[in-house]
Amino acid sequence: MTIIVTGAAGFIGSNLVQALNQCNETDIIAVDDLTDGDKFSNLADSDIADYLDKDDFLDRFSRGQFGKVRAVLHQGACSSTVEGDGRFMMDNNYRFSRDLLDAAQGLQVPMLYASSAAVYGAGQDFREQRECERPLNVYGYSKFLFDQRVRRQLPVARSQIVGLRYFNVYGPHEQHKGAMASVALHCFNQYQAHGKVSLFGSYGDYPSGGHLRDFVSVEDVVKVNLFFLDRPRLSGIFNVGSGRAQPFNDVALAVINRLREQQGQPPLSLEMALLEGILEYSEFPDHLRGKYQCYTCADLERLRAAGFMAPTLTVEQGVARYCDWLQGIQSPPPAPFKQAAAA
């Protein structure tokens, strides 16, 4: 049966397409907006059945023109947390998702969609509950509002609906994201270009490089998507993270030390990296003040209760793998996650 992936040429979408191919799934309809034509490269190594522009897709899908559809993996969105055009953001992230959900429910097609940890804002409690959700920007609000619509739909849903709240995802195929790419990619590019890495200085109650985020490899994000794809009776909204909060300093050191290892150089401690000028800090940007999540950490209780028990990569493990990929060091890709269904 056909699987539809929206945002298929983007970061997480293209990784999902590759993982589906590894599961021998090639009847895939890729949906995206290729105004940025260079994004095609994210799909160049994948096998798909068809490609559609997002503006052409929704009407055809709602009319049932794609035959029997196994599921829609909805990853398409504007992912810029600093986008100030609220009308554009709401059209892309809320209204399109709302219309797609209505169509999927009408056709009784399962829908897995990308939500975001941005819905939690500056809170310290990251549970999938309304009282924990206070977005700081219009991006977070667009995701929050759609989650609320899903919550109202779930009690009467005609087919599976799964919202996945991604935390700080990093990994292959994010180069097109520019300033919105992960801190891991920024650190890699800085080190390659200048032999040193710069992080934000102190802000709030956090020291320089000490802001804490739940960094999760796209490999683990893909595993969670495949888990729910194989369990169409499971619905709900779930956090997708590592369950660990690690400082930005850990990411920078993971990049520095992996690249030093490839060059036959010994690893550096944080203190030595600072002393040698390989790690430095810049003034915290004014435009992010009051809109910045200084701390995130996914509460995975609901995901575990649903049956997903696979361990997640640490920053040190995942960033090392990512650096290897960026360097063109080829290693066999990990087998797609297949966890036996509960009895």
Strand, coil or helix: 84: coil
Measure the CA angle with vertex 282, ends 298 and 78; round to 5°: 45
Q: Residue 16 forms beta bridges with which residues?
A: none
Q: Is 170 a catalytic residue?
A: no
Q: How far is CA 270 from the centre of its chain?
A: 28
- 43 vs 87: CA distance, rounded Å: 29
- In the chain, DSSP assigns E strands to 2-6, 28-32, 50-53, 69-74, 111-116, 161-166, 168-170, 197-200, 212-213, 215-217, 236-240, 246-247, 279-282
Q: What are the two backbone dihedrals, phi and then psi, of residue 36, each rounded to the nearest 5 degrees?
A: -85, 90
- 153 vs 141: CA distance, rounded Å: 18
Please give the structure tokens belonging to residue 250: 């850990």
Q: Is 39 a catalytic residue?
A: no
Please give the structure tokens belonging to residue 286: 């004014």
Least Cα distance to 145 among 96, 84, 109, 108 occurs for 96
Least Cα distance to 183 among 253, 283, 136 occurs for 253
Please give the structure tokens belonging to residue 215: 């960094």
User: For the packed helices 248-262 and 315-326, what is the interaxial angle rounded to 10 degrees?
Assistant: 50
- 33 vs 247: CA distance, rounded Å: 34
Query: 10 Å Cβ neighbour count for 283?
Result: 9
- Check 54, 177, 196, 291 and give the catalytic one: 177
- Check 94, 120, 139, 281 and give the catalytic one: 139
The 10 Å CB-count burial string (b at 16+, else e) for 29-62 is bbbbbeeeeebeebbeebebeebbebeebbeebe
Query: Is residue 250 within 8 Å of residue 315, measured between CB atoms?
Result: yes
* Active-site residue set: 139, 177
